[in-house]
């Protein structure tokens, strides 16, 4: 799988199909999310994901196109 996809929590359980991001990418993505008004208590109001987890999925994407 090389295309971006709608990440869901269970994707973290299947590392062979849904690879993990590098730590530096996770940190950069989370930093972007933390500056976004759509992030409320760690949850993105656009996609409903817990962002500390979603940023760990290499091929996940921001619903607003920020990363």
Q: How high is the pLDDT of residue 6?
A: 75
Q: How high is the pLDDT of residue 45?
A: 97
Q: How high is the pLDDT of residue 50?
A: 93
Say if 16 falls within a structural domain.
Answer: yes
pLDDT tens digits, the chain, 67 residues: what are they? 556 667 777 888 888 888 899 999 999 999 999 999 999 999 999 999 999 999 999 989 999 999 9
Which domain, by its residues, includes 26? 9-54
Contact in structure between 25 and 54 (CB atoms under 8 Å): no
Q: Record the pTM.
A: 0.82
Say if 61 falls within a structural domain.
Answer: no
Say if 21 falls within a structural domain.
Answer: yes
Q: How high is the pLDDT of residue 5?
A: 67
Count structural domains, the chain. 1
Say if 1 falls within a structural domain.
Answer: no
> SS3 for 12?
helix
Say if 60 falls within a structural domain.
Answer: no
Say if 64 falls within a structural domain.
Answer: no
């Amino acid at each position: 799988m090389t295309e971006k996809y709608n990440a869901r929590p269970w994707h973290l359980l299947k590392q062979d199909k849904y690879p993990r991001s590098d730590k530096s990418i996770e940190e950069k993505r989370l930093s972007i999310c933390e500056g976004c008004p759509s992030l409320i208590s760690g949850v993105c109001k656009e996609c409903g994901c817990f962002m500390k987890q979603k940023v760990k999925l290499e091929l996940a994407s921001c619903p607003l196109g920020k990363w």
